[in-house]
Amino acid sequence: MQLSKFISIILHPIFMPLLALYLTLKSTPSIAFAISQYLNYIYSIVICCTILLPLLTIFFLIQKGKVSSLEMSDYKERSLPLFRTFIWMSLGFYMLNSVLFYAPILKAELIGAILIILFAAIISKFWKISLHLIGIGGVVGVFIGLQIIQGGVFYLLLIFILLAGVLGVARIEQKAHNHTQVYVGFLLGAGIELVTLLVY
């Protein structure tokens, strides 16, 4: 397997909401303590609504012939699964809303992730934006916001900026995207999460 393909798989956007949640909790013990009795529930809902149900939706659409493959290399195929992912994530947010009252930062993160999916779905009707860079850009935006709000995550911020650069190069090397699609995807993901955290 090519290195660029391996990087694209391990840094797939479908894993980014869960990764952001996990690292936020690890880097902010006060939040983890405040919702400690709900952690298993939160992780279960996030895994179900951001990974399992979206994947099942894509497999269903492949069976129906509306999507050609998991990679969805034709950007025109992406809007429908992205809109359905938006619905699944909105459902997850509804199920977690009362629990996340005790962790407004996590609530803001999830709202940001839902908005990112919505923007990606709309843009993908007209243009092939990089979903990979939107995803990892969202994680970078989370850590910029956390660094501004409470500090202590600067090392994570640097790591994910570096990973975003590596991922961008990998996507371009695979000829999956051009430079503009990569840059716009990263800035959109980072910007939405950052604004959501700071405003909320």
Helix axes 39-47, 79-96, angle to 10 degrees: 160
Dihedral-angle region of residue 175 (phi above 0 means left; psi in -120 to 50 means alpha; beta otherwise): left
Tokens of 180: 């503009």
Q: Give the sign of the dihedral formed by CA 116, CA 43, CA 96, CA 147.
A: negative
Query: Which range has the worst mean pLDDT, 24-38, 60-74, 82-96, 140-154?
Result: 60-74
- CA separation, residue 141 to residues 75, 124, 134 (Å): 24, 21, 10
Q: Alpha carbon 54 to chain centroid distance?
A: 12
DSSP code at position 65: T
Per DSSP, which regions of 23-120 are E strands? Answer: none
Taking only the tens place, the pLDDT of each residue in 1-59 is 588 888 888 999 999 999 999 999 999 888 888 898 999 999 999 999 999 999 999 88
132 pLDDT exceeds 90? yes
Q: Which long-range contacts (C-beta less than 8 Å, at least 24 apart) are formed by 156-162?
A: 156/23, 156/27, 160/136
Give me the pLDDT at residue 64, please. Answer: 84
Residue type, 184: V
